[in-house]
Structure formats: C-alpha cells, structure tokens
Structure 1
Amino acid sequence: MSTLKASTSQVRIAGVGMHPWGKWGRPFVQYGVHAAREALKDAGIPWTDVDLVVGGETVRNGYAGYVAGSTFAQALGWNGARIATSYAACATGAQALDTARARILAGMSDVALVVGADTTPKGFLAPNAGERWEDPDWLRFRLLGMTNPAYFAMYARRRMDLYGATSEDFAQVKVKNARHGLSNPYARYRKEVAVEDVLGSAVVSDPLHLLDICATSDGAAAVILVSEDYARRIGLSDAVRVAAVSTVTPTFPNTVLDMPMLSTDAGTPGDR
C-alpha cells in the first residue's frame, strides 16, 4: 500500500491584480485581461514566464466563458503556457487556486496565473435559458421560484433556530463589509452603513433584508502563484505562502437538504 507524502516545497503569491467591481456593460474578457496585467505588473514578472493559466469559468458568457483558461491565454497572447478552466459556482476561485497550487507542488509549473472574471445580468441570478427537466438547479427556479436569497434565508432561519442568531448579527456582516469598502478603490459601494440601515431596508426573503444581499456585479481578480524555487531566483523572500486550499463534499449522512434537492431526488433519468 502506497503512502502519500506531503511536499516540503511551498507555493508563494508573487502578485495580485483586480478590475474594479460595478456594472460596466463590457465583455468579461476585458475585465480579466486588466486584472491579469495588473497582477503581472505587481509581481514584476514577464508574461512569457507564465507557464500555466487557470481561468475561473463564468457560465453567463457563452463558449468563451466555458473555456475561460483558453480565452484569457489567447487574449493575453499565446506564450506556450498550459491551460486549465475551473467552475464551482461560488467556490470557483478556491478551485482555480487549488488547481494551480497542486500543479506547482507536482513540479509541473513554476509560474501560474489564476484569473477569474464575470459579467452579471440585472436582478437575481437565474439559470441559462432553455428547458432542462433533469437539471436540479433549473428545477428549483421552475417549480419553486427559489432564487438564491430565498435559499440563504432558509439557512439564516435555521441558524437562528439552532444557535440563537439574530437579524442584528447578520446586519453586522454588511456593516463590516461596508467599512472595509470605504478605503478599497475596487469596491462597488464605498459608503458606511449602520445596523439600523440594514434592518430598515426592504425585506427580500425573511429574515434577509436588501442590504444583507450581495449585489450582482461585473469585475475580475487575478493572482500570480510561483514555486519556491522560482521565488528564490527572482529574490522574492517574504511573499505570502499558500499553505492549503480545501473544498470537500459533505459526508454521509448529510442531514441538511441542499437547495436543488428541494425540487428533485437528484437521481438519473433511469432511476425513475
């Protein structure tokens, strides 16, 4: 029986970049290229040194979004890098970073560019157009009209019942986020908010108010990850280390019903 051994090498962050978040009405590729170039500039690393491009996929931007790694690599200029594309909804960023980190630790990359970008429609996020009766995520909209705020409101209510959380507790999250946004030039909203402002905003899905809910926005972010050997070669001695990335499934028995499971048994067509 083989034994997996943890690598003693490290993965470092050499540079970061971002495109401001808002509603800009431009193609997502423009945002991603902007963020990528800012990350390269921050790192002081030439584009020709990048040997891996990992794109965070956006399903709302057609074929170019489904192959985001290739899309960004082409837009930046073919340089012979390997490519990969990650999509995991809200966990896309973590999955993309994990992909790049794992390849560096495996010795298959020295300099990885991880870039994610998105454009979003006005209002609540919804599934792409079309009839997909075997798609549980599509079904929860069609059968229940359940948008994301309705789903998270159910989790919020569960937390209140089990742990005594209050609407004021949830409001503090917005207060904290707004405070951090004040000095962030990339933030969409740069205005201080009080608990009373959150609780006084419209109820969208009880107990969540309008200011509890994230606005859908356009923008992009990019990170340059490098191997420790490469960091040493370019004199990067105190860069932030990526110690671990963890995204896992629930374990059996999972007693909390996930959102799509409210409207389907999640089985295959042959099971019914």
Structure 2
Amino acid sequence: MAPDGGDAMTDVIVAGAGMTRWGKWGRPFVEYGVEAATEALADAGVDWRDVQFVAAGETVRNGYAGYVAASTLARALGWSGAQIATAYGACTSGVMALDVARARILAGLCDIALVVGADTTPKGFLAPNAGDRPDDPDWLRFRLLGATNPAYFALAARRRMDLYDATADDFAAVKVKNARHGLANPRARYRKEVTAEDVLTSPVVSDPLHLLDICATSDGGAALVLMNEAKARQLAGTTRAVRIRGVASVTPAYPNTVLELPDMATDSSLVVPQPARSYMDSIGDAAYDQAGLGPDDVDLAEVYDLATALELDWYEHLGFCAPGEAEKLLRDGETAIGGRLPVNPSGGLACFGEAVPAQAIAQVCEIVWQLRGLAGARQVEGARVGITANKGLFGHGSAVVLST
C-alpha cells in the first residue's frame, strides 16, 4: 500500500470519474457512494485494493454512518487497509474531501486516492440542523429572521433586481437554459424542456422566486479517482489526462464593512479598509491563483445554481463579466452550449437537485467528461479549461480549476 515514488509530481491527475443517476429513491447513501466509486475505479482501470487513501464528504442527515462517511464507504467497498478522512463543509464538502486527497498525493504519501460523496435527502427544502448555535450566522438567519434557504435566495435575487435591473424573466431564462442542457444528460433527475412561462407561472415560493427557480433535494453519489502523474502514466487503463490545477476552500476575510468612528480629540475618522475583493470573488480568485490561469482561459463552468439568480452572481464572481453585466451575458447566449463560455452544461442543480456532499464532486465529474470530450450531445467543443464553484453554510466556499 506504500506509494511507489518515481518522478517528481507537479499536478494531480483525475484518472477516473463516476456518478449515479440522481433522483429520489430513499435508499441508504452508502449504496449511491459505492455505485459511484465502482464506476470511477473502473474508469481509471484501478482495483479497489490499490487505493491507498479515501476521502469522503460527510452527510449529516444519515446518522452516525454519515458522520464517518469515509469509514462507512471503505467498509462497504471492502476493508483493505486504506487510510481515510471525512470532510464537512456543507455544500462544499466534496471539494474539501478532494483537497485533502490531492494534498496527500502532492505530499508523496500516496499514489492513488478515492474521493466520494453521497447523500439521501428528505423531501422538500432542507431544514436547519437540530440544536442551538447562537454563534452560527446561518442558524441566526434561520431562527431569528425566518430566512430559510428559499427566502435567503430571494433576498439575493431582489438585490440583483435593485442593483442591476435584473428581472424575473432573466431568472427564468437561467432555468430554461439549464433545463435544455439537462435534456442531454442521462444522469440528471429532471430531463424536461422548460419554457419561461412554465417558470413564471409556477407557484411563488419566496418573491421574486418561483418554484422552478429553486432546485430540489435529491439522492445521488459522485466519485473521483486521483493519481500522481507517474502512476497515471503507468496504468494503461487511464484515459486522456485531466489535471487538477487549483483548488480553493476559502473563508471570508474580515472586516467586510467599513467602520467610521469619530475621534473626539481630532474629529477625524478611523476607516477600516475592506478586502480588495469580496468573499464570493475570493473563491474563484484563490483557485485561479493556484492554477496560474484566469477567467479568460476558462472554456466552461459548473456553478452553484441553488436558485436561478445565484447563477448570474457567479458569472461576476468568477470574473466572466463585470458586476451588472451577467444578464447581458445570459441574454446574448454566451453561457449556453454553443456560446463563448457555457455555464452548467450538465444541467446544473436545476436538473440534478441537491445531494449535498456529492454535488461539488459531481461538478468536477462533469468538467472531467467535458475536457475528455465524452459529454455526448452536451459537449462543449474544444474545451481545455474548466472551473467549478460552490458555497456552503457558515462561510465555506470552494472552486476547482481543471485543464487538459
């Protein structure tokens, strides 16, 4: 089980990707994780017993087995002596697990790692976890403001309307685009063309967002096999190499407001400077910096579209356009397949729904298939660089840059 050594390592290779079809079956999350892992291992041409390290995203809704997800999945695959780690960062859990596995390979502690996320979710929108956490800003917004996720998303949508004159028609257009993309994805839960009228006449959940503006909760699993370059070259079963160029798992920088405090002696003000870039901007920035690449290098993106308006925010946070220009990018067809920079060619969470520890890994799977040219009817032609982006509760943000 010890690493083989060999050539100096620069990038980590995604040698295998696997994903279940997403839906709502209510089976144990372990089944989804094993299915995804088995496919990823086969894709990489690797036997489970050759895996030296397993990193998994935690699922808090599935009892103790979910809290120790890496151990649970390692047992289900067959005890083999692999080392493990379980990561939790809400919707960024999958990338946190990937980051741990990547770091272990770069440190020379293993040659082959498996990253898995799987979830079984309840019906309806996700509720806050049990227990009192008065120092948790998300708990406070749930309990004191009554701002559950749909209400929170609606506040962001209203902000876009106030700042940039976005309209409900723009939000509906995001759903229409992603639904069209999802038609070509056999793993998507929802594979049905949607019109703007369908979105705008669906029930209002939290004004200005309608039911079809907000993603569902789903069951599903996704997995990746990572290798160092030397091992990837050795294995004839590996396909066209996709490299992890940058991984971000960032928290906000404070202060994020400007305080002006009068000095009674001098009548001057003390100004506490804001960060040069916002927290949401910093998520992509950190991954770009590691990769030595920038927004102009990106050919496609998979972003966190829990609600349609949030996708528009990501266009700006990832540097695809200036603030206030996301709606024009969408209206001009730039972010649809066939456009300059397709966003969510998989169909996004609009077509998959949330399976929390799996979704950030699923985004990476889609980029891998696109960069290999294996995405079928949803293929982004000539794709060479892709980025993913996610945001979780309590200040977790993640992004991954991959390239051929």
Closer, same or farther in 2 for the Cα pair 1:123/1:105, shift >3 Å? same
In the TM superposition, what is the alpha-carbon distance from 1:134 to its structure 2 partner?
5.3
| Equivalence for 1:246 | 248
Superposition RMSD on alpha carbons, in Å?
A: 2.3
SS in 2 for 1:35: helix
Closer, same or farther in 2 for the Cα pair 1:100/1:214, shift >3 Å? same
Closer, same or farther in 2 for the Cα pair 1:169/1:128, shift >3 Å? same
In structure 2, how many angstroms separate the alpha carbons of the residues matched to 1:228 and 1:254?
40
SS in 2 for 1:179: helix
In structure 1, how many angstroms separate the alpha carbons of the residues matched to 2:145 and 2:121?
22
Please tell me whether the aligned partners of residues 14 and 224 of structure 1 are also in contact (alpha carbons under 8 angstroms).
yes
Please tell me whether the aligned partners of residues 91 and 393 of structure 2 are also in contact (alpha carbons under 8 angstroms).
no
Closer, same or farther in 2 for the Cα pair 1:180/1:14, shift >3 Å? same
Please tell me whether the aligned partners of residues 9 and 230 of structure 2 are also in contact (alpha carbons under 8 angstroms).
no
Determine if the alignment matches structure 1 residue 196 to structure 2 residue 178. Answer: no
| Equivalence for 2:67 | 66
Q: What is the percent sequence identity of the aligned residues?
A: 70
Closer, same or farther in 2 for the Cα pair 1:164/1:109, shift >3 Å? farther
| Equivalence for 1:93 | 94
Scaled by the length of structure 1, the TM-score of the pair is 0.87
In the TM superposition, what is the alpha-carbon distance from 1:250 to its structure 2 partner?
1.9
Please tell me whether the aligned partners of residues 140 and 260 of structure 1 are also in contact (alpha carbons under 8 angstroms).
no
Please tell me whether the aligned partners of residues 182 and 190 of structure 2 are also in contact (alpha carbons under 8 angstroms).
yes
| Equivalence for 1:16 | 17
The total of aligned residue pairs comes to: 255
Determine if the alignment matches structure 1 residue 103 to structure 2 residue 104. Answer: yes
Please tell me whether the aligned partners of residues 51 and 112 of structure 1 are also in contact (alpha carbons under 8 angstroms).
yes
Please tell me whether the aligned partners of residues 9 and 229 of structure 2 are also in contact (alpha carbons under 8 angstroms).
no
Scaled by the length of structure 2, the TM-score of the pair is 0.59
In the TM superposition, what is the alpha-carbon distance from 1:37 to its structure 2 partner?
0.6
Please tell me whether the aligned partners of residues 60 and 120 of structure 1 are also in contact (alpha carbons under 8 angstroms).
yes
Please tell me whether the aligned partners of residues 203 and 210 of structure 2 are also in contact (alpha carbons under 8 angstroms).
yes
| Equivalence for 2:382 | none
Please tell me whether the aligned partners of residues 154 and 207 of structure 2 are also in contact (alpha carbons under 8 angstroms).
yes
Closer, same or farther in 2 for the Cα pair 1:245/1:257, shift >3 Å? closer
Deviates more, 1:175-184 or 1:220-229: 175-184
Determine if the alignment matches structure 1 residue 113 to structure 2 residue 110. Answer: no
In structure 2, how many angstroms separate the alpha carbons of the residues matched to 1:72 and 1:242?
24
SS in 2 for 1:242: strand
In structure 2, how many angstroms separate the alpha carbons of the residues matched to 1:260 and 1:177?
24
Q: For each residue in 1:216-261, what CA deviation from the matched residue of structure 2 results, as whole angstroms up to 9, or x when unmatched?
A: 0011111111110100111447311111111212222224999989
In structure 2, how many angstroms separate the alpha carbons of the residues matched to 1:188 and 1:62?
25
SS in 2 for 1:244: strand
Closer, same or farther in 2 for the Cα pair 1:128/1:249, shift >3 Å? closer
